Amino acid sequence: MSIRNGKTAGKGSAGKKQIAARPFHYRGRELACDGISLEALAAEYGTPLYVYSAEQIRYRFGLFQQALAGREATVCYAVKANSSLAILRLLAEMGAGFDIVSGGELERVRRANKAALKRVVFSGAGKLVWEIDAALKAGILMFNVESEGELEVLAERAEALGIRARFALRVNPDVFAETHPYISTGLGEHKFGVAIGKARAIYRKTLRSKWLDAAGVSVHIGSQIRSVEPFAAALKRVVALVAELRSDGHMIRTVDAGGGLGVDYEETIGAGTFDPAREVAAYAAALDEAAGELNARLLVEPGRFIVAQAGGLLTRVSFVKKNGEKTFVIADAAMNDLIRPALYQAHHEILPVVKGRGATAPVDVVGPVCESGDFFAHDREMTRVKADELLLVLDAGAYGMSQSSNYNTRVRPAEVLVDGSEARLIRRRETLKELMAGEIL
Ligand code: LLP
């Protein structure tokens, strides 16, 4: 089933043209996604509903490809940001590589586009034997190894399967990047990677290994980072290490600069101050300068920047109630559908699908889950909201659906992809039967 609008916009029209930073805009008083009515989508597919724009995703991905076109580079989309198969397929068709962190994500890439398996890098501090085996057999590009123990297991598994393992050590450059403490990873105190000062000795131990191929070096300093300097500082340290490793006899062909470029969650719709093209150009220029004459393939692993602003969470208001001085707008979406506000105190803009009139007043937008942490916004200035009307939580395309859960025994939302003039269901709403399918009485 799909919904069309009247116009005949072509698919994949993102090309080089510049488009707004978000696909959502008012047509008259009604909010639409790339021209498709959100009212119509809610009527067809119900709420809560994730709505994504294929055009925006292609545009964002294309920005990285274009900005890095001057050197040998692969953009490895971080699957964890949004792992829906249709989105992975769309990106794979543009030539994306993928950054995965589990055997499950490997299986997703395989189902979305088998040919993309050779462009997969496998990160994560706690890889399991079955996951390593599956990735070796799949012939992925590289393992981003996070500890000496993991390197030993990788060597064992490679030998057992008779498949040589390409690896990069994920080094911890001890660079500080301003972001939320839960999503900062590049400091000495974090669980990720190995201290850059220890890396050379670890690589050296693999020099004569038949089963380990020290193909690269990788780094990732955190997420939602809004300035480019920390990325450049981290990469410079990696480049210096690459020179040392080469002088030790390692054939380093790949440098993985990680992900982490942030977006502007605070900007109100249509303000036009956040320009994705400018952000990616500055990021790529900083990396390019830091990399210099690297003579290696450069990987980047953006997740959020590609999908966050391409998606919104559509929700219907169940009730509006007053408790004392406070007004609560109780939506049918909850923290189990989008946990970012509860978990990181993250800000998400919220828009009425039919533009409000009159004065604004502060409201709390909350869900029905039995926790005070179940909120989307506190004291948000909104025009008057009524029961049954639709709201759109913006910038929910990254770490929304992929972090959703069944808490309170709630089925997870459906997902719709708007592509040109058509909207297509890419995940139907879970049923209660499916939700309890694995349980044993
Ligand atoms: N590469 C590695 C090794 C990562 O750990 C991550 C994200 C990425 C790439 C992609 O980072 P991005 O470009 O999306 O910033 N749930 C949090 C974000 C967690 C990020 C974890 N690692 C949130 O909702 O803000």
Ligand 1: does its nearest atom lie under 6 Å from the Cβ of 399?
yes
Tell me what pLDDT residue 183 has.
67
Asked if the model's pLDDT at residue 354 lies above 50, the reply is yes
Asked if the model's pLDDT at residue 15 lies above 50, the reply is no
Cα–ligand 1 centroid distance for 259 (angstroms): 7
Residue type, 254: T
Ligand 1: does its nearest atom lie under 6 Å from the Cβ of 300?
no
pLDDT range class, residue 190, cuts 50, 70, 90: confident
Cα–ligand 1 centroid distance for 328 (angstroms): 32
Ligand 1: does its nearest atom lie under 6 Å from the Cβ of 222?
no
Provide the mean pLDDT of the chain: 95
Domain extents in the chain? 2-53+309-435, 54-307
Tell me what pLDDT residue 13 has.
43
Average pLDDT over residues 19-42: 97
Domain 54-307: state its class: alpha beta
Cα–ligand 1 centroid distance for 65 (angstroms): 19
Closest CA to 123 of 177, 80, 60: 80
Helices 103-112 and 85-93 cross at an angle (nearest 10°) of 60
Cα–ligand 1 centroid distance for 144 (angstroms): 15
Contacts of 244 (CB under 8 A, 6+ apart): 200
Ligand 1: does its nearest atom lie under 6 Å from the Cβ of 223?
yes
**Going along 65-163, which residue ranges are E strands?**
73-78, 97-100, 120-122, 142-145
- What CATH number should be reported for the domain whose range is 2-53+309-435? 2.40.37.10
pLDDT range class, residue 188, cuts 50, 70, 90: low
pTM of the model: 0.95
Q: Ligand 1: which of 218, 223, 227 to mutate, judged by most atoms within 8 Å of the beta carbon?
A: 223
Q: Summarize pLDDT for 281-313 with one digit per residue, the tens.
A: 999 999 999 999 999 999 999 999 999 999 999
Q: Which helix (H) or strand (E) holds 426?
A: strand 422-427
Q: Which two tokens stand for residue 63?
A: 């920005």
Residue nearest to atom 6 of ligand 1 (CA): 259
Ligand 1: does its nearest atom lie under 6 Å from the Cβ of 304?
yes
Q: Summarize pLDDT for 112-154 with one digit per residue, the tens.
A: 999 999 999 999 999 999 999 999 999 999 999 999 999 999 9
Burial of 323 (0-12, 13-18, 19+ CB in 10 A): exposed
Burial of 16 (0-12, 13-18, 19+ CB in 10 A): exposed
Tell me what pLDDT residue 98 has.
99
What single string gives the DSSP state of each residue in 1-38? -EEE-SS-PPTTTTSSS---SSSEEEETTEEEETTEEH
Ligand 1: does its nearest atom lie under 6 Å from the Cβ of 301?
yes
Question: What's the Rg (C-alpha) of the chain?
Answer: 23
Cα–ligand 1 centroid distance for 8 (angstroms): 36
The per-type count for the chain, helices as H runs and strands as E runs, is: 12, 22
Ligand 1: does its nearest atom lie under 6 Å from the Cβ of 250?
no
Residue nearest to atom 24 of ligand 1 (CA): 399
Tell me what pLDDT residue 10 has.
41
Q: Which ligand 1 atom is nearest residue 218's CA?
A: 3
Asked if the model's pLDDT at residue 411 lies above 90, the reply is yes
**Rounded Cα gap, residues 73 and 76, in angstroms:** 9
Active site residue 370: yes
Q: Which ligand 1 atom is nearest residue 258's CA?
A: 1
Q: Which ligand 1 atom is nearest residue 170's CA?
A: 3
Tell me what pLDDT residue 379 has.
98
Ligand 1: does its nearest atom lie under 6 Å from the Cβ of 81?
yes
Average pLDDT over residues 182-200: 81
